[in-house]
Structure 1
Amino acid sequence: MRDYSIREFIEKTKQNEAARDYFELETERILEVNLAGDVWAKAGSMISYNGKIKFEREGILEHGVGKMFKKAFSGEGTALMKASGRGVLYLADQGKKVTVLDLNGESITVNGNDLLAFEPSVRWDIHLMRKMAGVVSGGLFNVTLEGQGRVAITSHYEPLTLLVEPGKPVVTDPNATVAWSGHLKPEFRTDISYRTFLGRGSGESIQMEFSGEGFVIVQPYEEKSGSDRSG
């Protein structure tokens, strides 16, 4: 007979005490941070912690006037919090799947809505995408991260990585695009017939085209901008 006891439930779902890496996937949707210093995380992503950890929203001068100027135009999705101290921190974002990437001198650009956390050793900067206002989830921005350290990104369901090769550009729906090689610079193009064909009403559909050599990560889900969400 199957055991439905509370003890059995605890055994199946309790945290892994043996995990000691800075970033650990406690489950595929929960990131464990074994904190001994600082970590940058998406504001509001903390679901639990133990130990002595202090949280603070990103300070106005934390990264210089330039970045804060850009933040003023990039929506709430870029809001970061800094967790400082010693302990174990658990992060999650609306039940999305978490993927941990270890940067070793590489760079990656992430949709601001899909960035969960990164080590303080990772350099970052916000880039505006003015053409994408009202189209890209969370606003018109992305975040480029580079250097050494771990980065955690999120996606709805299983992500798919598409390889970009010379002469073979990859075109994606901005609302389904999670991240791409940091050196790639997407071009934006419109397709009226595409939008009309799918019954999305009149107007232009904006697509992202990646050319060169690298990769693009997409998800099987279209995240809508804040103004398009209900509930």
Structure 2
Amino acid sequence: MLRTFALSCMAAVAAVSALASASPAVAGEPDPLHQRTGFDNGLSAGWLYQRQVPGVMWVDKFLGQDAPAIHHVQGFATGSMMFQRRASWLQPLKSGQPVRIQLDTKARLVNYLGAPTRRELVVELRDYDNPPVDHPYASVWTIVGYLDAKALPGWRTWSVTIADPASLTLPEGWGGYGAEDKKGRPYLPPDRTFADVLAGVDEIAITTYQPGYLYGSDHDFDVLYDNIEIGVVAP
């Protein structure tokens, strides 16, 4: 009887040890499915500035939710954008699990032709592999918030949760890019799905450029971006 009890205890300890060794994260170590930066280490997290339009963007050590933050000040601009291509930031999106994207913004000035205006803040997930005809990539995108210094002053936290990364159709509030209708409105090509764009995502863009729209170069921006976070969340 004692021998049977001892063997049972040994088996239980072995099972617990196996579970512990299979655990994906250890206390105190970074979670590979959760990335966050407040730009305390500058651009070491891999977020880069917009490519389309030359502008003035830098890591401001004095302004931020808890300074620093990315600061964009530019006149005669068409928009604002940052992008990320590192595998560590893309991995939560490719994990097949529910994921949340979140960031803080502060619009100090957003003008068009000298008057206050509002610009959509878009999160776009881009897949550059096997691009559609006449398009550089296929993507899915959503308006996550707004930059409006007059109606939405101060710091704002914006987020979007992808509850079903395996969805074959676009979730409510999401659009697609990679094809256009006769009026030039973008949509996701018929041979692409929300799920496979996520599985093949190559770039995350946080941008004021909404696909399908053209913007004049008469905008003035004074905007701060901080605390960008992407991570797997509980269903």
Q: What TM-score does the superposition give when structure 1 sets the normalisation length?
A: 0.27
Task: Find the structure with the greater CA-based Rg.
Answer: 2
Higher RCO (C-alpha 8 Å, min separation 6): 2
Greater strand fraction, Structure 1 or Structure 2: 1
